[in-house]
Chain A
Amino acid sequence: MGLKILSRAFKYFIIFCILAFHMGFWGCAPAYLSPSPPTQPPETPQVEIFGETDETPEEAPEKPSPRALAALQLTEQGRMFLEKNQPDDAIGILERALNLNPGNGRNYYYLAEAWLMKGNIGQAMEFNRLAEVYLKDDSEWLHRVIGQRGRIKAHEQ
């Protein structure tokens, strides 16, 4: 009889342990109601490199998209206006390039150059900062951006 009771108590203990473990580990039943779990796969950041999107930054496409190519034509026109010392014309074209391909950091660099040419230090600084945001991964261009910042600051003084 005693053995029977002991055996039953042991059985209950085992069940209790399993249940307690189960509730403690898996239940996660909080004292409050939890936020609903995600209903879809977690968001993966997309990157834009020369107008192309890709799942991973490392696998940047080699060939620019037609949109980026079109924008580059405008960027080039803008650069040529800058060479001719026509900052207003350059800005007009570069703004259009920017609308077409907002991810091309060179547009911001040239816009900063144009505003510097016009003597508007505030705008030059804003565009220089944006150029840095977009050209951070391009060491050659980043070097230019930093140099440009130095020139802007020198002009300011």
Chain B
Amino acid sequence: MKKKKRSINTTPRRLLKWCLSAIALVVVVILLYCGYLSIQIEERFSGRRWSIPSKVFSDTTILYPGQKTNRTLFNEKLRRLGYREVAHKPVNKGELNTRPSLIELYLHDFNDPSRHREGIPIQIKFAENQIESITDLNSGQPLLILELEPEEVMLFYGPNRERRQLVSINQIPQHLITAVLAIEDRRFYTHMGLDPKGMIRAMYANLRQASIRQGGSTITQQLAKNYFLTPKRTIIRKIKELFMSLIIELMYEKNEILEIYLNEIYLGQKASEAITGFGEASYFYFGKPVNELSLVEAATLAGLIRGPNLYSPYINIDRCKKRRNIVLNAMYEMEGITEEELKMALPLPVEAIGYASYGKKAPYFMDYLSDQLNLLYSHQDLSSLGLSIYTTLDTQVQLAAERALKKGLTLLEKSTPGLDRTDPQKKMQGAVIVMQPKTGYVLAMVGGRDYSLSQYNRITQAQRQPGSAFKPFVYLSGLDKFTPASILSNESKTYEIDGKEWTPHNYSLMIEERVRLRDALAASINLATVDLAMQVGIDHILRTAGIFGFSTPLKPYPSIALGAFEVIPLELARAYCPFAADGVLPYPLALKQVLDEDGSIMEQRHMSIKQVTTPEKAFIMSSLLKSVVENGTASSLKKMGITFPVAGKTGTTNDYRDAWFVGYTPDILALIWVGFDDGASIYASGATAALPIWADLMNALPQYVSGYWFKMPQGVVQLDVCSESGLLAVKGACPFPIKEYFLADHVPEAECRVHTGENQIERIFDGVKDFIKSF
């Protein structure tokens, strides 16, 4: 009995003890769990909250009165810069009104580390394809120069491919905050992370509408879900979400939580890129910074939270408008807007800016740039630190180059059916690089026909024989001994190389046995060039090539004179720059500046130059290469609409494997290469295959054509010489005197002897002899 009594007395006590122990254990576990979660949250929020992809920008665009423009490319540029066409006079930043002879646009703000330009309304008047005037519409003052902001060209994504522009709570307009709270969490500022009232209200509303109209999750819960949890719906996840919400509320201020939420929330999709946060969404849907959003625009964005792709104005404008109006009504219900504001806003249409889902822009240029960036930053840093990377790229030039190449190759394939291969991987290829010769800025780079099919960059990675495009370096090497008027032999000769005989041939049959140096280069005469090379010395030519930056191995064979060795096209283009830049070789510059998230400079690069020849020799080379275009192998340029002075050189290799043209003016230099990757013949010369592409490119870029030519340096003189002897012309004696440029310290001193003096008597005797012989 006693035993039984004891057991009756001890069981409840034990049970109580057990229960208390269990409760204490659960509390300890919960506390430990909360501690664990708070550490997780602390870690996540105290460090870097988001990975922001680094952005690559093009160079700025300079406009000035009197500048010629390609209206098509210019208008495309404005669209890509985010200017949106409106039917009225632009009143907000980013608005554009285009008319046939003028455009009015409200400029975006423009910031770089050293300058800030507030957006202003401007008017650009055109007279045909030339800018007539630029006017600041605020002050009515004419502008002598206008710089358009750089264009975003690429983002370095992390694995999530998210686009995000961070905004602080202070930048976010009150009507956007009201709209978000009205539709997502009305009691945000009063609850502790959980809102039972809100949950009941949402359940009631959803039951009444027989559909899910409202969610019960608070903003803090949504944040916890987005930030830490998987989308999988389980009870454990829900419990974790509740704990996390409470901890977040305990650890952070309300405004801090709201700011994180507004930057974190997913708001749509641009092709494969996720639009996250209101900062990015504001640009994506309305082309403006978040602080410039109107009431209806803010309500539209707030409405997207529930279903970004369901309510996207790009998917269903009516559904988007209905959702927006629900938000507006919710704002009115919580007294965030007045009745008058509601009535004005409800009928307004949803006007999204629209976007072009474009492919990768300037992909070969970007690869070239990435190679340089990867030496400075890891991929992890590039995809997370939100760097701003400024480049020398001109997107108008890039587009013109891509189009010219595509058109040129297609035309060539049509004109020569054997060239049109069906296998896309084996199709004929081409490459273009455009540089500014004085500074080395790389304006555009097209490394192949189609980046999606081949990422092999034929400008930076290929090694091809330049053929006659190398000849200018032979002629430059000869300028110490020879002059443009010197006479070279055009007779066929056989040379011995490593015990083997080599007999060069001309591209076409020529009867002249002697040619002037200028004509030999203009007509690209092989025999005369080899004659020159042998007299100058192959070693001297190799030294010149080295000084001009060719890095590929060159062997001391006479065939070097004809470009029978491989070069990297980028190096060939660069090597021509000194001719257009007073003898100065620039470093090819693609990367200009890297800024961190706060706009501080992390890396800065400038043009870098070194003198490789004298301004005088550079001028003479330009003059010689101008003859190539005026009456040599590139003379067909005139028929292709190129009426301004150009210097350049064609190149064709054995069996027509490569076709080249490198052409330049004082303002711009472009190299074109056409060929097959497998070295098959394209059955066309540089003048037939590459030259039309160059002409097409330049015709599309009137803004880079000044029509100017190089100023003659003081160390160059111009003299009359006999076209036959290359010596000083004797007035009245030499039948075809010509004006020729000479280095001032290397002028012909002797007068023509062919038409004067002893030669004259010899000729008389010769004439007598011939006469007698005729009998």
Contacts and interface: CB of A to CB of B under 8 A. Distances in A.
12 contacts: A20-B767, A22-B767, A23-B771, A28-B735, A33-B513, A33-B514, A35-B514, A38-B736, A38-B738, A43-B741, A69-B144, A88-B604
B767 A45 contact: no
A45 B667 CA distance: 17
B754 A28 contact: yes
Interface stretch (B101-109, B377-385, B706-714): B706-714
A40 interface: yes
Given A33-B511, A46-B711, A66-B66, 11 more contacts: A16-B768, A16-B771, A21-B764, A24-B763, A30-B754, A35-B487, A40-B630, A66-B64, A66-B65, A99-B438, A100-B64
Given A25-B760, A32-B514, A96-B62, A73 B735 contact: no
B607 interface: yes
Nearest to A125: B611
Nearest to B619: A45
Interface in B667-684: 667
A20 B438 contact: no
Nearest to A44: B739
A98 B580 CA distance: 13
**Across chains A and B, which 9 residue pairs bring their CB atoms closest together, nearest first?**
A66-B66, A23-B767, A70-B64, A42-B739, A24-B764, A89-B114, A37-B736, A70-B145, A24-B763
Interface of B: 60, 62, 64-67, 113-114, 144-145, 436, 438-439, 441, 487, 511-516, 519, 581-582, 584, 592-593, 601, 604, 606-611, 615, 623, 626, 630-631, 645, 666-667, 706-714, 718, 723-724, 735-736, 738-741, 754-755, 760-761, 763-764, 766-768, 770-771
A67 B67 contact: yes
Contacts of A21: 764
A138 to B, nearest CB: 13
B486 to A, nearest CB: 11
Contacts of A100: 62, 64
B611 A23 contact: no
A126 interface: yes
A31 to B, nearest CB: 9
Contacts of A23: 763-764, 766-767, 770-771
Interface in A85-114: 86, 88-89, 91-92, 95-96, 98-100, 102-103
Given A20-B764, A20-B771, A53-B709, A126 B606 contact: no
Contact of B512 (A22, A35, A46, A129): A35
A36 B755 contact: no
A121 interface: no
Contacts of B768: 16, 20
Contact of A133 (B62, B582, B761, B767): B582
B611 A129 contact: yes
Contacts of A127: 609
Contacts of B441: 95, 99
A102 B66 CA distance: 17
A95 B439 contact: yes
B626 A43 contact: yes
B760 A46 contact: no
B763 A27 contact: yes
A47 interface: yes
A157 interface: no
Contacts of A66: 64-67, 144
A19 interface: yes
Contacts of A69: 64, 144-145
A100 B601 CA distance: 25
A130 B582 contact: yes
A67 B584 contact: no
A21 B487 CA distance: 27
A127 B495 CA distance: 44
B512 A33 contact: yes
A44 B739 CA distance: 8
A139 interface: no
Contact of A81 (B60, B114, B515, B771): B114
A36 B512 contact: yes
A67 B739 contact: no
Contacts of B609: 123, 126-127
Nearest to B772: A16
Given A16-B768, A46-B708, A39 B114 contact: no
B712 A47 contact: yes
B584 A130 contact: yes
A28 B763 contact: yes
B64 A95 contact: no
Nearest to B438: A102
B185 to A, nearest CB: 46
Contacts of A102: 438, 581, 666-667
Given A24-B767, A43-B739, A35 B64 contact: no
A40 B8 CA distance: 128
A38 B737 CA distance: 9
A36 B754 contact: no
Contacts of B763: 23-25, 27-28
Given A45-B718, A99-B438, A70 B144 contact: yes
A149 B708 CA distance: 29
B610 A126 contact: yes
